[in-house]
Structure 1
Amino acid sequence: MHPDCGQIEGGPTGRLKGGDSMTTMNRGVRALCTGLSALLATTAATAVAAQQFPSEPIRIVIGFAAGGSTDTNTRALAAAAEETCGTEIVITNQPGGSGVIALDTVRNSDADGYTIATTPTEISAVSHMGLSDITHQDFSAVMRFVFDPHGFFVTPDPPYDSLQDVVDAAKGGETIRVATSGPASPYAITFEDMARNTGVTGQLVNIPYQGDAMAIPAALSGEVDLLVTNASNVVGQVAEEALVPLGVASDSRIAILPDTPTLAEQGIDVTGGSIFGLAVPAGTPADRVEALNSCFEAAFRSDSFNAYVEQSGVNPAYLGAADYDAYLAAEYQRYGELLEQLGLAQ
């Protein structure tokens, strides 16, 4: 407080000692004191707000349509995080461009921790394919929360009992239409790797959709011949025998499809899966990234999210901020090499 403020009887609203001859000075000091009080109050409020982050709603931008795996996994985590982060979490879907539209929205947002991107596997591929200049370096990782192996599925009607049947049909001249969630989607890259590995690249044609919510119905309706998606996405359809799994692109058989062989078991040396994570724009203060990691990790370990994991069959796979940053950097390099081998790099 300015030293003259203490000379006013009753504080800033009192009367300066010395009589009316100092009225002008009284007014000046009073104005000074009022201004200092306001400044101190504003500074204190700003400090409190910084300590209480997050103190306003958080927005998560999802790059795929509502109802798909990225959407449902993220919404389940966000529902738990509203309690652990202590604020409302608003979900926005911006499908298109293999997730690029949403990623671009977030990287151009204020780096204040209040706008978060879901980070699909595509973040490691799109720049290598010439689809965008976006990379993991445009973001600061918050966490990874799910890794889901890819599976190959058909309806019961086509005469395919195994992936070898699909390969044989393709080698016999058939064109196999394959539904994926986008041209740069991890599903597309996994099936292109499978096609190259088996020598049928020209006969397996990618039919890209804007997310699983559109690709899965296309497969069920017979619009395509083969569906590549996360195994957990179609557990219900497999149980109802609406879809038949032909193989999973994982190192070993998975719990939700224990009778389905891996691609390796069928002589196809291919693995692939989808990552689900969160990131904020590069330049977000480290303490805010840490705060987000802390409250979203608590959501990841909550009873409600684990109930979702049990019900959905997704594979929980937590990585903290630093480890996820390192993982994304390694995946970016791996996808660059793989896409070069597949002839898909630009």
Structure 2
Amino acid sequence: MVDNTSSGTSDRTVVNRRNLLRSLGAGGIAMTAGCMSSLSGQQEWPARPIEIVSPWAAGGGADRTSRAVASAGENYTDVAWNVSNQTGGSGSVGMNAAANADPDGHTIGVAAPEIALFEHLGIADLSPDDITPIMQYTEFPAALLVHEDAEFSTVQEWREYGQSNTYQMANSGFGSSWHMAAAAIASEAGVQVEHVSYDGAAPAMQAVVNQEADCTAVGAAEAAAQVRDGPLQALGVAFDKQVEALPDTPTLTAEGLEVRIGSWLGHFVQSDISDERKQQITEVYNSIYEDEGFVEFMNNNDFIRVQRGPEEFNSFLEQQYEYYGNLVDELGIEEQ
């Protein structure tokens, strides 16, 4: 059974730059911090347009929700908010770019389960300790998708077919959350799969639409339009209850697969950003989360709203690091 529920805390003890500064105490660095603030314009935020770096291709959940955040953010600041797509490395290219940007609050990154996976799979030297979490704002369970013309139309038929045939199963990149979801579902079902990587959920779905791949597992909200109006069929969702995005799709549990897994999204800034700047950004994000336009977008597009602020989000990330480390071991996924 695979269950992506988070409880407890990680035993890892990693001292990064942020923790080191805190351990030094305020007395010895107060004057230095004040001087740096004055020299770098720390009192001014935002002083120029804000860039959100989405680490996957346009059209997926990270891209679409980040654009909704950007649109709402302009209501609470006097600058433009833009989204850039920096893909590759299962999200590590974009996340690294944001994590290593100047710590002035003008470059914001998108965090997803991948940041808890990179080190476990040898993809990148990047983990939750290398960022400052700002807010998690959504989660979405995985949906198992096939083409509407597939030879199977139920989970049971998919399982039976996959026990004597090997599926080409698309995912959003090696070590991505949707790779892990696909592997977990396939393992629980006992089917044979060959995982094929793409640069995001949208290209993975398109591969099934084009019948380049037999199936995929991506977010229910991401898949809703293609299931409702397009050529895809959702066989089940890896959640503990049916979801509004796919109201006619049963849970995988109801179909005999004890697996609950998916993804989530949040935004972060650099590990060495000042506490003052972190608080300024957090206050804007609190407004964004309640913004009428943002709420309407999330509801209209079936994204489940979940809010975790900096401290709670940080604890959640540590739990995710431990969870995915155990899952990698359980599934026997080897480093690249």
TM-score range, shorter chain: 0.7 to 0.9
CA separation in 1, counterparts of 2:334 and 2:287? Answer: 39
CA separation in 2, counterparts of 1:130 and 1:223? Answer: 28
The 5 A counterparts of 1:47-196 are: 50-172=42-164, 174-196=165-187
Deviation at 1:345, TM superposition (A): 4.7
Which residue does 2:307 correspond to in 1?
318
CA separation in 2, counterparts of 1:323 and 1:85? Answer: 25
- Are the counterparts in 1 of residues 239 and 261 from structure 2 also a CA contact under 8 Å? yes
Q: SS of 1:227's equivalent? A: strand
* Aligned residue type for 2:65: N
Deviation at 1:193, TM superposition (A): 1.1
TM-score (norm 1): 0.83
- Are the counterparts in 1 of residues 170 and 207 from structure 2 also a CA contact under 8 Å? yes
* Aligned residue type for 1:140: T
- Are the counterparts in 2 of residues 85 and 296 from structure 1 also a CA contact under 8 Å? no
Report whether the alignment pairs 1:327 with 2:316.
yes
Unaligned runs of at least 5 residues, structure 2: 1-34
CA separation in 2, counterparts of 1:262 and 1:63? Answer: 29
CA separation in 2, counterparts of 1:48 and 1:281? Answer: 15
Number of matched residues? Answer: 300
Deviation at 1:261, TM superposition (A): 1.1
CA separation in 1, counterparts of 2:305 and 2:117? Answer: 23
- Are the counterparts in 2 of residues 219 and 226 from structure 1 also a CA contact under 8 Å? yes
Q: SS of 1:294's equivalent? A: helix
Change (3 A) 1:48 1:92: closer
Which residue does 1:7 correspond to in 2?
none
* Aligned residue type for 1:116: I
More divergent stretch after superposition (280-289 vs 84-93): 84-93
Deviation at 1:319, TM superposition (A): 0.7
Which residue does 2:281 correspond to in 1?
292
Q: SS of 1:266's equivalent? A: coil
Higher RCO (CA-CA < 8 Å; seq separation 6+): 2
CA separation in 2, counterparts of 1:178 and 1:47? Answer: 52
- Are the counterparts in 2 of residues 336 and 345 from structure 1 also a CA contact under 8 Å? no
Unaligned runs of at least 5 residues, structure 1: 1-42
Which residue does 1:309 correspond to in 2?
298
Report whether the alignment pairs 1:268 with 2:247.
no
Change (3 A) 1:48 1:178: closer
Deviation at 1:161, TM superposition (A): 1.6
The CA deviation string for residues 60-105 of structure 1, in whole angstroms up to 9 with x for no partner, is: 1111112222111100111101111332212221111111001111
- Are the counterparts in 1 of residues 119 and 127 from structure 2 also a CA contact under 8 Å? yes
Deviation at 1:262, TM superposition (A): 0.9
Q: SS of 1:127's equivalent? A: helix
The CA deviation string for residues 33-64 of structure 1, in whole angstroms up to 9 with x for no partner, is: xxxxxxxxxx9x94995444222222211111
Which residue does 1:339 correspond to in 2?
328
- Structure of larger gyration radius: 1
* Aligned residue type for 1:303: E
* Aligned residue type for 2:99: R
Which residue does 1:249 correspond to in 2?
238
Change (3 A) 1:207 1:48: closer
Q: Percent identity?
A: 29
Which residue does 2:188 correspond to in 1?
197
Which residue does 2:18 correspond to in 1?
none
Deviation at 1:305, TM superposition (A): 0.6
Report whether the alignment pairs 1:230 with 2:219.
yes
